[in-house]
Amino acid sequence: MNESFAFVSIDCDLYDPVYKGLHYFYENLNHGGYLLVHDYNCPGYDGVKVAVRKFAEEKKVAYFPLCDCGGSVVIMKP
């Protein structure tokens, strides 16, 4: 699939699909594009935080937590 994305929202609640989704969509994300990951700070979905932190460390990218109901996080591709 040769698609590119400007904005992607990931709301899978579990470590594995979030982690794999981050890798897939980041590679296909336009420069200046955004990934929004829901439930980063949501109790009961601890795998989301682990997946985001591991991904960010591997890719050397920053992430920005939001003050929304699910504790989402945003990653921008420079």
pLDDT band at 4 (very low <50, low <70, confident <90, very high): very high
pLDDT at 67: 86
Cβ neighbours around 21 below 10 Å, total: 19
Question: Can you list the domains of the chain with their CATH numbers?
Answer: 5-76 (3.30.110.150)
Q: How far apart are CA 51 and CA 21, in angstroms?
A: 10
6-37 confidence digits (pLDDT tens): 999 999 999 999 999 999 999 999 999 999 99
Over residues 41-68, mean pLDDT? 95
pLDDT at 1: 61
pTM of the full structure: 0.91
